[in-house]
Every structure is written in C-alpha cells, then in structure tokens.
Amino acid sequence: MFDQVREKGVAITGIGQSEVARPSLKTPLRLSVDACMEAINDAGLKPSDIDGVACWPGDNNNGDGFSPVGPLALKSVLGLDVNWFGGGYEGPGPLAAVINGAMAIASGLCNNVLVFRTIAESSARLISRDATALSKKTLGRDSNFMWQWVTPFNVHSVINIVAMYAGAHFEEYGTTPEQLAQIPLTLRKHAQLNPKAVMRTPMTMDDYMASKMISTPLRMFDCDVHCDASTAIVLSRREAARDGPNPPIRIEAIGAAMNQPYYWDQVDLTAMATADVARMMWSRTDLKPADVDTAQLYDGFSILTLMWLENLGLCPVGEGGRFIEGGHNIGLTGVMPLNTNGGQLSGGRTHGMGYVHEACTQLWGRGGGRQINDPHVAAVAAGGGPLAGSLLLVKD
Amino acid sequence: MPRKLPALTDDTRPFWTGGEAGELRIHHCTACERYFHPPAPICPRCTSFDVAAQAVSGRGVIVASTVNHQAWNPELEASYSVAIVELEEQAGLRFLSNIVNCPPEAVHTGMPVQVVFERNDDVWIPLFERRV
C-alpha cells in the first residue's frame, strides 16, 4: 500500500489518568492537569520536553461535558512551548488525537506530543439531565451535518441507531441477547479487579435481563456509564524513546479509513466503519489478528464491541455471538482478553483514550489483579457508526 | 410528539417541505440517473452538478427498526418506533424515520411502508405507516 509506514517510528512512552469519578469534585481543568502531569512524569520527561499537544474532540465547552478542556488550555496552563497543537471533532473517532499526534511526530514537526481527553459528562448530567442529548447539541433548528437527519425523528441518543445495528446483527447472524450479555457481564468481572472502575458490584445474567430496556434490543447494561475523568499519553520519536524509563510501545499500524458516507443511517448496519478501518490497519503491518494478545475495543454500547471483534478479524464476521458465548474467550485468561479494566461499560466512559491507557497498562505489566499473561501486542479501537479508528500497539 | 426541527437550506428544503404537496422529494443525479440522500449540491457518485429533487413513490420497506422506551424528555410518548426505510426506487436508498399509526412492537424488518407527512411549522416531516 505504501513504501513506508511512518507510524512505526512513533512510540507511546508514558500514560496518566486522573481519578475516574461520578461525579468528580475537581474541575475538568484540574483533572486534565492531573492526567497530563502523570503521563509526562511516567515518560521520564519534563513539561519543557513536550513540543506538541493533541486532543479529540478539542474544547467543546457547551455544557454537555463531552470535552470541556482542549489543547489551548493545556498548552497554556502547563506553560508548554509547542511546535504544533490541534484538536477538533472531525476525524476517525476518539482515537483521532493519537493518530494526529503520531503524524506530527512521523512528519518531523514534534519530538514529544501530549495527547489527552477530558470528559465531565457525569457532572453535566447532574446539572441538566438531558445535557448530553443530541437534540441539545445545536441551538434552535438543527443544522449539524450528521444530526439534522436524526433529531427531527426524536433520536435523542445514538442508542436508537446502534439498537438498529444490533437488531440487524441479530437478524443476519442469529446473535442472541444471552450472547450479547457476555460483554457487560465479563467486563463487570474485569472492573471488580480495577480499583478505579466506577461500577464494581457483581452482575448476573438475571440482572442483565432485568435491566431496563432502553431501545430494543439494547438494555441499560448495554450502555456505558458517564463519569468525570481525564486520560493522557505521551507520544515520542521511537529512537529517542529507548532512553526513557518504560519500554517503548510502538504504533505498529493505524486504521483511519472511511469509505462510506459519514451519516449514521447510511453506513453498513452490521459493520459500520469498522471494516474500512481494519482493512487499512492490517494492510500496514506484517502482523496478523492471531498475533494480538489483548483487545481494548470501544464499548459505548456492547454491540459495538462485538462488531469491532469481528471486523478486526479477532473472530470471524458473523461469529461474534458464538465467540463471546459463556465469556471465556474474552476473559482475562481467554484467547482474547477484552477491555481488561472493565471498559466503558463498567470502568467508566473515559471515551476512547481509556482503551489506549489500558493497553499500555497491560503491555507494561502494571495491571495488578487484572494483569494478563505477558502480552506484547494490543489491538485498540474506538468509535461507532461512521466514527472509527484503530491502533495496533507493540511493546518493543 | 414535539420534534426538534431541521434547518432548511436550498439543498434540504425539498426533502423537508415536499409534504406540503403530498410528495416525498429525493435528490436525483441526471448524469448518473440515480437518486442519492441526504441531498447535496453535487452528486457524491459522479460529482455532477446536474442534480435536483424529484418526487418519488413514497413506498419502501423497513430494513432495520427499534422501539425506543426511554423518556428523553417528559413530552415524549411512552414508546415509539425508529426505523430505517429503504425506498423502492433504488437499492440502498434509505433514511431514518419513525413508523406511525401502528403499535411500535408490530414494526418489523421487511414490512412494506408508505410515507405520511406530519406538519410542524414550515416543515413536513416524512414518516411512514404500514402499507397494505
């Protein structure tokens, strides 16, 4: 495809995360600073070493808590001298900032890029219960390129659309509610081993089946849990990263392709954009799905994780329901340990960056009670509907 | 039910106001001889500017559906149907809407539907009901 895959010259060298709370009493800016300083220190660097800042979706301080702090704020409050910085919503989903930061390093603009994501949806919803509703994203008439086609039909959350994807998957492949339940059930077990997870009480199949139906066939326990948190990583030039305290985790391949119209009701109903992204990622590496030791895959809604598992090639397309049946394959000792910190379903909706943080936590052997056996390769993916991006991470 | 209304632009006005004349209007490319949706000033397939809204039959089939049970705001009905409808004019020509005039639980994939319009201010929202 390309003679050089330049992201291989970029490595993750440090990670950080604030408290994950529901809600946090700290300001979003303080959460951001906590996460970013931890990541910079973890990389063995000083703020003066950081010469780039990336954030998805950037400052979106409109009361929905989706992204109250952007790169301008971090650049300023940490006194960073940068060669490049950027943030913005439009891109290949919540991993867009990692991809942008990697490109900034690969193209020689920066040596060390701070990538972060702050979310305060728990606090926002305490102030206004419908703070995160799609219908509140625009004032007055809806003119948003994507949302104007769904909000007039009383779609206030993408769950209605994702539920139709789930229904299509159920009808096309015979996936069952009992199979889908294994994602929230397994991730709740993982969350019980993660002291920072926001939902840690045991969950049974009966609990799952009894949880409120939100939009058929998706129940409340198929939905992730709002929280207040900030997550950060440091990206560095790989050759320079060898001098740091952590074994560099190289970005082996990026998936960011989008070969369909960018509307929620026009994408492939049982794959969304995940297949486009996966095809690109695997075209940029000699590694194969069988080389993946752990998968950290978007679980804003449980069915999205199933589609990522299938389309990344971690199980055959259409076989996802049978693959997760009983939960063994995706457990900590299974063939594909999934969302080992509890994911967003039970760990908290850190929204995208949490998966990168957990992949590095596992690759560096810092997982404590939830540590899996000696992983070297992690697949990370985030997004649903038309939003999708993925990373293949390898410990050098 | 109350609805958030869409902004009307030169591109989108035919779709959202065709109902005043009882017509579902979908953008069509004269060069490709194909419909496309959502409407835009250029054909996304061949980049021809020779595009315009045309009245279609309003007949279609449900390709996916869900019953919403969550009260996102106090004015919503207890449950309602959200569905993606594929129009009979062209494979893959589809959009999200609501199915009305039948219990939401009765809506299913493959169900034939016919457009009906619900006027809200200067917008005629294209909804669908069971086609017999």
Read off the pLDDT of residues A162-197 as tens digits, 9 standing for 90 and up: 999 999 999 999 999 999 999 999 999 999 999 999
ipTM: 0.98
As a whole number, mean pLDDT of residues B89-115 equals 98
- Residues on chain B touching A130 (C-beta within 8 angstroms): 72-73
Q: Say if A168 is an interface residue toward chain B (CB within 8 Å).
A: yes
Q: Do A141 and B63 touch (CB under 8 A)?
A: no
Distance of CA B108 to the CA centre of its chain: 17
pLDDT confidence of residue A2: 62
Q: Which residues contact A280 (CB under 8 A, 6 or more apart)?
A: A1, A254, A255, A256, A257
pLDDT confidence of residue A283: 97
Residue B23 within any structural domain of the chain: yes
Phi, psi for A378 (deg, rounded to 5): -125, 135
- Residues on chain A touching B3 (C-beta within 8 angstroms): 151-154
pTM value is 0.97
CB atoms within 10 A of CB B118: 15
Name the interface residues of B facing A (CB cutoff 8 Å): 1, 3-9, 12, 37-38, 44, 63-70, 72-73, 76, 80, 82-84, 94-98, 109, 123, 125
Residue B82 within any structural domain of the chain: yes
pLDDT confidence of residue A1: 54
- Joined together, the tokens standing for residue A281 give 């990622």
- Residues on chain B touching A150 (C-beta within 8 angstroms): 96
As a whole number, mean pLDDT of residues A196-200 equals 98
Residue B2 within any structural domain of the chain: no
Looking at residue B123, which CATH number applies to its domain?
2.40.50.840
Strands laid side by side in the A112-120 sheet? A84-87, A52-55, A112-120, A228-237, A10-17, A249-255, A389-395, A377-382, A294-297
Q: What percent of chain A has pLDDT over 70?
A: 99
Q: Do B64 and A133 touch (CB under 8 A)?
A: no
Residue type at position B69? H
Residue B37 within any structural domain of the chain: yes
Q: What percent of chain A has pLDDT over 90?
A: 95
As a whole number, mean pLDDT of residues A284-288 equals 97
Q: A residues 124-143 near B, CB within 8 Å?
A: 130, 133, 135, 140-143
**Gap from A208 CA to chain B (nearest CA, Å):** 17
Domain of residue B124, residue span: 13-130
Residue type at position A390? S
How many domains does the structure of chain B reveal? 1
pLDDT confidence of residue A62: 84
Nearest-Cα residue of chain B relative to residue A154: B3
Helix (H, G, I), strand (E, B) or coil at A87: strand
Q: Do A167 and B76 touch (CB under 8 A)?
A: no
pLDDT confidence of residue B1: 84
Q: Which residues contact A188 (CB under 8 A, 6 or more apart)?
A: A199, A200, A202, A203, A342, A345, A346
- Joined together, the tokens standing for residue A144 give 């948003």
**Gap from B70 CA to chain A (nearest CA, Å):** 5
Q: What is the pLDDT of residues A143-168, one digit of tens each?
A: 999 999 999 999 999 999 999 999 99
Residue B5 within any structural domain of the chain: no
**Which among B37, B70, B125 has CB closest to A214?**
B70
**Gap from A260 CA to chain B (nearest CA, Å):** 11
- Joined together, the tokens standing for residue A228 give 């207040």
pLDDT confidence of residue A60: 85
- Residues on chain A touching B12 (C-beta within 8 angstroms): 148
- Residues on chain B touching A140 (C-beta within 8 angstroms): 7
pLDDT confidence of residue A139: 86
- Residues on chain B touching A213 (C-beta within 8 angstroms): 69
Q: Which residues contact A89 (CB under 8 A, 6 or more apart)?
A: A56, A57, A58, A60
CA distance A35 to A26: 12
- Residues on chain B touching A265 (C-beta within 8 angstroms): 84, 94-96
Q: Do A215 and B3 touch (CB under 8 A)?
A: no
Residue ranges of domains in chain A, CATH in brackets: 1-125+226-246 (3.40.47.10), 157-222+250-396 (3.40.47.10)
pLDDT confidence of residue A233: 98
Count of A–B CB contacts within 8 Å?
A: 109
Q: Do A216 and B82 touch (CB under 8 A)?
A: no
